[in-house]
Amino acid sequence: MHSIAIAGLGRMGGNMARRLVARGVKTHVWNREPERLAPLGAAGAVTAKTLTELVAAMPAPRAVWMMIPAGEATETLFLGLLSLLQKGDLIIDGANGHWRDAVRRAEKASAAGVNFLDAGVSGGIWGLEKGYCVMAGGEKPAFAGAEPFIKALCQDGGYMHCGGPGAGHFTKMVHNGIEYAMMEAYGEGFELIKASPFGNMDLAGLAGTWNRGSVIRSWLLELAQNAFDKDPRLEKVSGVVADSGEGRWTVEEAARLGVPAPAIAAALFKRFTSQDKDNFGDRLSAALRNEFGGHGVKAR
């Protein structure tokens, strides 16, 4: 069985490490900013100030789960780990990176004898308490080596080996594209109610009602109720909704494959327009991103 480390202790990585520790898994941790190590050490994790120290403290075979921002930061960490790990060790890329980068990294890791998984992770800031959802891509032996840790992180039945290298990040990309469209639909619906002659309706109460038996019930609707309970008219939230990349990639892949995805495309373009104006529907989308992922919101 692999020993496990979480490299990157932000909103997601820190809580993932805490969940593993809470389930009795000996968990090693590292972070680019050392000040984040002490709270994890107090929670029971084994801390390391450098990657060299991290790898040296872990018995082989090792599994290091990267949870830092996609792009240059992840690439730098990947190359650093590849220079330190041994044959039979495992790197798991948990960033919201492009799936083609995952394919490339899997090939590079394989040439060094190191296993690689790309893991799309969903669950946001609620994953610590409720459990995460993980979509993994890579070779089956690599997935088998990571499965005990993935199972400990997730809700029952909340993980899947989606296919070969790149499949995890591709699936998470589409997942986030769907998320864009669902958030936009809720935003438009509540904006229509607010603009109607019945605009003084209790929106938190309506979200709660819809979540009990209706065909549009969902966790996002629960989070909408949370947001309305805190700020009934969303007067403290700006309608600027960030575009973090996955929606763009989903629309690009849809265009490349000739697959119609008009709802996701419209939701993506609406995020672009939200940068220039402030309306109620966009404020709900911004509030929802804060509720499920702890993403910052701009004050009005």
Instruction: Choose between 34 and 243: higher pLDDT.
Output: 34
Q: What is the mean pLDDT of the chain?
A: 94
**Can you identify the CATH homologous superfamily of domain 172-293?**
N-(1-d-carboxylethyl)-l-norvaline Dehydrogenase; domain 2 (1.10.1040.10)
Residue 300's pLDDT band, with cuts at 50, 70 and 90, is low
Residue 245's pLDDT band, with cuts at 50, 70 and 90, is confident
Q: What crossing angle do the helices spanning 99-111 and 72-84 adopt, rounded to 10°?
A: 20
Residue extent(s) of CATH 3.40.50.720 domains in the chain: 3-163
DSSP secondary structure string for all residues of 102-152: HHHHHHHHHHTT-EEEEEEEE-GGGHHHH-EEEEEEE-HHHHHHHHHHHHH
| pLDDT confidence of residue 299 | 66
**C-alpha closest to that of 3 among 86, 126, 118, 113:** 86
Q: CA–CA distance from 293 to each of 12, 94, 199, 229 (Å)?
A: 8, 15, 28, 18
The per-residue pLDDT for range 167-216, each reduced to its tens digit, is: 999 999 999 999 999 999 999 999 999 999 999 999 999 999 999 999 99
The per-residue pLDDT for range 54-112, each reduced to its tens digit, is: 999 999 999 999 999 999 999 999 999 999 999 999 999 999 999 999 999 999 999 99
| pLDDT confidence of residue 266 | 94
Cα separation, 182 vs 54, in Å, equals 40
Q: 3-163: what fold?
A: Rossmann fold (3.40.50)
Instruction: Choose between 53 and 279: higher pLDDT.
Output: 53
pLDDT for residue 157 is more than 80 = yes
Look at residue 180 and give its three-state secondary structure. Answer: helix
pLDDT for residue 279 is more than 80 = no
Active site residues: 172, 179
Residue 294's pLDDT band, with cuts at 50, 70 and 90, is confident
Residue 295's pLDDT band, with cuts at 50, 70 and 90, is confident
Residue extent(s) of CATH 1.10.1040.10 domains in the chain: 172-293
